[in-house]
Amino acid sequence: MSSNILSPDVYFPFEELEERVQFIKDKEYEIYDYYSTLYGTYSQKDRLSGKEEKVFIDQSEREAGKYLSELIHSEFPNDTIRGEELKNITGNNDFSWILDPIDGGLNFLRGIPYYAISFGILFRESRAAGVVLIPELDDLYEAIKYREALKNDEPINTSKVNVLSNSILIPAYPQDRKKTVSSLIAEISATIVSGHSLRRTGSFCLDMCWLAEGRVEGLWEKNLTKEDLAAVSIILEEAGGMITDEHGKPFSDTYTGIIASNGHIHESLVELLEKSHKSIHLN
């Protein structure tokens, strides 16, 4: 389909979106080579203090962001490019890239293979397409709004599990968890008592991609940003999944916390989490 389609208040130019998605696909292994070199620069075999690790993670993200920004700008010089740890580039057309150079920075630093590179593409500030690379697993996830989600060029869909007790869930584990420990304990306790199986990879983008391809059924996370969600929200939605705020209301650009699922268990998951919050009087 090469014609434009009307989304709420926005026309989506599919050919130009396809061109941008294909560019990342064509550069996939060049990007992987760069990250392999970057890992060799910043990996530490000896244990560092938490503060030292944070410095190394920030430095590696800045370098990776600069590399990705320059790569994209060389091909699409009129596009806006912004993201975590980036010096933003302001373009003069309707396309914007939202980059997360390393989602799962601690995993990357420690040599744990669960980290992601996220490319969200906006058209007139509306989410339009997303690409997520998982270098160590050699996986590429992609989606364009109103088209199917793909993993390594094969269609993916969320699971058909429709009973919460049979679901694998991924609990929130935010960076400011010391401030929200009561909430975290209540949420995890509620899921454990109900017999649910829990998993975490340490990369939100990878968690969302696994949800999109049906490996898990639901997740929730707090304190998210545009960089976290720009790409993976499109991939999940086009795979048949559902994403809302923490109260089950429509997902918007005011990012705080989200609940995401295969759609079948969404209402039950929202209710479970709300009950856990009420048990400690959070609502």
Does residue 266 surpass a pLDDT of 70? yes
Is there a contact between 228 and 100 (Cβ–Cβ < 8 Å)?
Answer: yes
Q: Where is 72: in which H helix or E strand?
A: helix 50-75
Quote the CA–CA distance of 267 and 42 in Å, as a whole number.
43
Q: Determine what percent of the chain is predicted with pLDDT higher than 90.
A: 69
Could you tell me the residue ranges of all domains in the chain?
5-147, 164-278
Question: What is the pLDDT, as a whole number, of residue 189?
Answer: 84
| pLDDT confidence bin for 155, thresholds 50/70/90 | very high
Average pLDDT, the chain: 89
| pLDDT confidence bin for 5, thresholds 50/70/90 | very low
Give the three-class secondary structure for 87. coil
Question: What is the pLDDT, as a whole number, of residue 193?
Answer: 75
Q: Do domains 5-147 and 164-278 have the same CATH topology?
A: no
Does residue 220 surpass a pLDDT of 70? yes
Domain 5-147, CATH = 3.30.540.10
Q: CA separation (Å) from 143 to 45, 52, 237? A: 37, 36, 9
More confident position, 86 or 29:
29
Question: Average pLDDT in the 108-131 region?
Answer: 96
Question: What is the pLDDT, as a whole number, of residue 2?
Answer: 30
Strands (E), 67-151: 80-83, 95-103, 116-123, 126-134, 139-144, 150-151
Does residue 179 surpass a pLDDT of 70? no
Quote the CA–CA distance of 137 and 148 in Å, as a whole number.
22
Does residue 63 surpass a pLDDT of 50? yes
Domain 164-278, CATH = 3.40.190.80
